[in-house]
Chain A
Amino acid sequence: MTPLHFSYHSAFIISIMGLSLHRTHLISTLLCLESMMLSLFIALTMWPTQLQTPSLMLTPMLMLSFSACEAGMGLSLLVASSRTHGSDQLQNLNLLQC
């Protein structure tokens, strides 16, 4: 594996670990999701650049637009949970806790 590929691979691994091990706030989860999208964008851009095929450049553009949709929806869920629960602390989301 070349160092360029290693950079976005390890960034994705670190982001997905941060997504699963976040401690207090819901917005930290959304931030780790955004960093996963960033590492995927870099991966999808490296692919047509190294294979010298311009047509594959459509995929990172599409991925960026749909990740913007997903970020907007995640933030609206954050706002909705902040209205009903008072804050975005994860210990407040305990409706299913026994």
Chain B
Amino acid sequence: MMYFAFLFGFCFVFWMVGVSCNPSPYYGVLSLVIGAAFGCGLLVSMGGSFVSVVLFLVYLGGMLVIFAYSSALVEESYPAAWGNRGGMIYVVSYVLVIVGYGAMCYWLWSMEGYGSVTIDAGGLFVVRLDFSGVAWFYYFGSWLFLIAGWGLLLTLFVVMELVRGLSCGVLRPI
């Protein structure tokens, strides 16, 4: 079971390599979706199931859906696919970066054994650590909560101002 967390970590890094060296933004968005799913699995295997659900909802369901729709701005009639371009050299070099970083961690900085760190909340609790931690927002962090909400509202107006159009002022298709 502890090696399962290591598998999730490995798949997460693999799909992040796929995001960084995508041949076309369509494949980049897909790689980010699957990598975020494995990142959520990594968080669940550590006992943080609530933050994993929040990541799924806000990140995948909110932000990446918008990114998937915005990749329609790319407008390539013949998008490149994996493996048939000079972009494969990027894939190989990113994998070599990860392998080199792992080798440095192992030989220079004494990376510890595999599958040895999986933290649980220490017992059979109904309310886990992440769930009770986020509940701090509502009492001790109430001012922080209000200020963050005000910042989000401000972002809405900034975005509306950015896509307004300078002299036309009408909503138009891109």
Chain A interfacial positions (CB closer than 8 Å to B): 1-4, 6-11, 13-15, 17-19, 21, 23, 25, 27-28, 30-32, 34-35, 38-39, 41-42, 45-46, 48-50, 52-58, 60-62, 64-69, 71-73, 75-80, 82-83, 87-88
Contacts and interface: CB of A to CB of B under 8 A. Distances in A.
B31 to A, nearest CB: 8
Contacts of A77: 162
B143 to A, nearest CB: 12
Interface string B1-24: 000011001101100110111100
A78 B63 contact: no
Interface of B: 5-6, 9-10, 12-13, 16-17, 19-22, 25, 28-29, 32, 35-36, 39, 42-43, 46-48, 51, 54-55, 58-59, 62-64, 66-67, 70-71, 73-75, 87, 90, 94, 97-98, 101-102, 105, 109, 111-112, 114-117, 119, 121-122, 129-130, 132-134, 136-137, 140-141, 144, 148, 151-152, 155, 158-159, 162-163, 165, 174
A49 B66 contact: no
Nearest to B105: A1
Contacts, number: 217
A62 to B, nearest CB: 6
24 contacts: A1-B111, A3-B9, A10-B101, A10-B102, A14-B20, A17-B94, A17-B97, A18-B20, A27-B74, A34-B67, A42-B12, A42-B39, A46-B46, A56-B133, A58-B134, A66-B148, A68-B152, A69-B151, A72-B159, A73-B159, A73-B162, A76-B162, A76-B163, A79-B174
A66 B151 contact: yes
Contacts of A49: 46-48, 119, 129-130
